[in-house]
Structure 1
Amino acid sequence: MEREKLELPENGKKLLLHSCCAPCSGEVMEAIVASGIDFSIFFYNPNIHPRKEYDLRKDENIRFAEKHGIPFIDADYDMDDWFKRAKGMEMEPERGIRCTMCFDMRFERTALYAYENGFDVISSSLGISRWKNMDQINDSGVRAAAQYPGITYWTYNWRKKGGSARMLEISKREKFYMQEYCGCAYSLRDTNKWRVEHGREKIRIGEKYYGDVTE
């Protein structure tokens, strides 16, 4: 399916794209490149735990950005601050208030960097995942952008017009690392609990890649 030509909202000139990982951002990045939009990747994900998982996701994202010549901004991994913000929400379910906090934290930093560095539009690859609540993500993005004059959050639906299918195709083509949980310590805990209850092995970090023969 042919991609549509994208245009930034509000006559935007330069996009800062928050990226959570290579599999989610691969299709988003290729669609933006194909549309000739000036953009950079902003990698700020202090929620990802443990550090081995964080480094795997970041390195895959850097590899793909370099392949396309896209500037990659590697933000701080302030994990301690994330855990402080998550205090009291440890048992919240996926898509609950802990996830809202997490999106808010990441988008607030994205919006600040955009404001201080000449970007007028921000967006995120998080919304392409069918496991995420797109309204929850967009609400956080809009809130973050509203704090800074001249910054707009782009609420484009990356799943539509074959986006989700191309996301999987690109992941297999590039043999991206396949993360098997959202990213935080609590999603890892809950995913492993579900797997054990259903007779499956716990997640083994760093072992599974898209396109593997054993997939």
Structure 2
Amino acid sequence: MKMDSNNKLVREKLSLPKSGKRLLLHSCCAPCAGEVMEALIASDIDFTIYFYNPNIHPRKEYDIRKEENIRFAEKHNIPFIDADYDVDHWFDLAKGMENEPEKGIRCTMCFDMRFEKTAEYAAAHGFDVISSSLGISRWKNMEQINDCGVRAASRHPEMEYWTLNWRKKGGSARMLEISKREKFYMQEYCGCAYSLRDTNKWRMANGRDKIELGIKYYGDEE
């Protein structure tokens, strides 16, 4: 970030890698995507949101996260692709991984599944760059995410996965600021059924109530 003459932060203009023209941004949710989207808008980058997250469980949680993302995309006139909720396929792929820890092989499978579908759509619709908002979360392993993204893009000639670290240069702080400003829904677990199970197990062991879906929003505590 740079400072202007009034001592205010000014965003640095971003450019797509390798002279890319159009970006398909996989989005996991509005809180993670908000800062990424505003950075892309400020850089005049042509992009579309691709929402494909069959891992999110239950359906109530999935619908809330999706609608929040649609709301923010519509506010900025950003095209939004609502992909299938093929949750049965996700559970089939997760068989045998039910007790794997967060950031383990189940998460790799989940990223691979979502990025492969993103890359397939991008290749069929004239996008030459893909990326994801997943990497901005401090709860995620960025190297793991980027490896999955690069692998998915490599299956399509002339496609690039953008490995930009969205957390740097104030990205993580702005992510929280935007979430509070927009009063986004506050997610209390990663998204899948096993994440919800393990988070609730931890909460109960530490004297906290189980997660109640659909009730917490950023800014409510202020």
1:199 to 198, 207, 210: 207
**After superposition, where does 1:64-143 map in structure 2 within 5 Å?**
64-143=72-151
C-alpha displacement of 1:87: 0.2
Q: Which residue of 2 aligns with 1:31?
A: 39
Distance 1:73 1:10 in 2: 25
Q: Which residue of 1 aligns with 2:28?
A: 20
Q: Any idea what SS the aligned residue of 1:191 has? A: helix
Structure 2 length as normaliser, TM-score?
0.96
Kept in 2: contact 1:3–1:161 (CA 8 A): no
State the Cα distance separating 1:2 from its structure 2 match: 2.4
Q: Secondary structure at the match of 1:118?
A: coil
The 2-side partners of 1:6 and 1:201 are apart by 43
Q: Give the deviation of 1:124 after TM superposition.
A: 0.1
Q: 1:54 aligns with which of 49, 56, 62?
A: 62
**1:76 offset after TM fit, Å?**
0.2
TM-score by length of 1: 0.99
Residue 115 of structure 1 deviates from its aligned partner by 0.2
- Cα distance in 1 for partners of 2:166, 2:10 equals 14
CA distance in 1: counterparts of 2:162 and 2:23, whole angstroms:
9
Deviant stretches of 4+, over 4 Å: none
Letter in 2 for 1:186: Y
Give the C-alpha shift of residue 4 in structure 1.
1.1
Q: What amino acid sits opposite 1:69 in the alignment?
A: N
- How far apart, in 1, do the equivalents of 2:162 and 2:122 lie? 13
2:5 alignment counterpart? none
Indicate yes or no: 2:183 matched with 1:175. Answer: yes
Secondary structure at the counterpart of residue 67 of structure 2: helix
**1:3 Cα offset (Å):** 1.6
The two structures, once aligned, show a CA RMSD in angstroms of 0.6
Structure-2 residue corresponding to 1:42: 50
Q: Equivalents in 1 of 2:142, 2:198: separation in Å?
A: 21
- Structure 1 unpaired stretches of 5+: none
Letter in 2 for 1:199: G
Say whether the 8 Å CA contact 1:60–1:177 is kept in structure 2.
yes
Deviation of 1:178 after TM superposition, in Å, equals 0.3
SS of 1:94's equivalent in the other structure is coil
Partner of 1:160: 168
| Number of aligned residue pairs | 214
What is the distance in 2 between the residues matched to 1:4 and 1:157? 14
